[in-house]
Amino acid sequence: MSRQNPLPVTIYTPDSAIASPARMFRDMIHDLRMSRELSWRLAVRDISAQYRQTALGFLWALVLPLANTAVWVFLSVSGILAVGATDLPYPVFVLIGAMLWAVFMEAVAAPLQGALAARDLLAKINFPREAIVISGIYQVLFNASIKLAILLAVLAVFGIVPDWTIVFVPLGVASLILAGTAIGLLLTPIGLLYTDIGKGLPVLMQFLMYLTPVVYPLRGEGTLSTLLLLNPLTPLIETTRAWLTGAAPEWLLYFLVTNCLAIVLLLGVWIAYRLAMPIIIERMSS
């Protein structure tokens, strides 16, 4: 009779995990590895549930950016709004910006939406909380692949042939997901306690879009130009747009600096997320 492997033993103490940084980081990496299979299953379940009973199916991933594009193109063509000259045909310029912004918005919303959907599991089952975050990233990547396929088709229709720099487009998309996940993970513990965060987030994201060169080009001077230059999302959008259309990326250094800052931010909020979740779960269960 073979001896069975003993079950792992977890010892909980009232001491804060941050009191032992080395052990905390080992636990973080361990939980990240252990959450891979669960996060994949959660992502497959959520994607199937999201599109199973819809007539348009996966096209729902394109509805919001296409609607934004149609509105801004109409405003420009009708003369209601003067957006200035663009290097690309304006419909292409807006569509690329709207698609990339949609990827960022979904990355911001994914951690909170995943945590809200799994709040019953969080209160009853002990599993790596990172699985919720990674599951959201998988879903954002899936929707982003649909958006990129549509963008390539639109570029072909307008006769725009991407250069070899198109190989860097996944890096640009990943940078938007990185920044969005860091912000979303920062908001998740608060959003689990106060529903105002989830309700106000779309309004905030819409306002932030106007401070990012999504639907209009960068201007040479003025207050708006200054705000666009200070916005760390500007190099992410502009560089990815340039790689997608074969233009020379003018914001490459700013792009790299922003990604480094996003990595540091993500690491910091990941630690805060792990420290806050036991307290949040206890409050939700009471």
The pTM of this model reads 0.86
**Range(s) of the domain holding residue 114:** 34-45+57-69+83-285
Flag whether 14 is in a domain: no
Q: What domain count does the chain have?
A: 1
pLDDT score of 203 more than 90:
no
Two structure tokens written together for 26: 């080992």
Q: Which residue has the tokens 């916005």?
A: 231
pLDDT in tens, 50-60: 766 665 566 66
CA distances from 265 to 185, 203, 212, 225 (A): 10, 23, 20, 26
pLDDT in tens, 207-242: 888 888 888 887 666 677 778 788 899 999 999 999
Q: Which residue has the tokens 């999302």?
A: 233
Instruction: Report yes or no: 172 and 103 within 8 Å, Cβ to Cβ.
Output: no
Flag whether 3 is in a domain: no
Instruction: Report yes or no: 237 and 212 within 8 Å, Cβ to Cβ.
Output: yes
Flag whether 89 is in a domain: yes
Flag whether 10 is in a domain: no
Two structure tokens written together for 187: 């908001």
Flag whether 2 is in a domain: no
Flag whether 50 is in a domain: no
Flag whether 15 is in a domain: no
First to last CA, the chain: 46
Flag whether 51 is in a domain: no
Instruction: Report yes or no: 122 and 284 within 8 Å, Cβ to Cβ.
Output: yes
pLDDT score of 253 more than 90:
yes
At residue 18 the predicted structure's pLDDT band, cuts being 50, 70 and 90, is low
Write the DSSP symbol of residue 222: S
Two structure tokens written together for 87: 């290097």
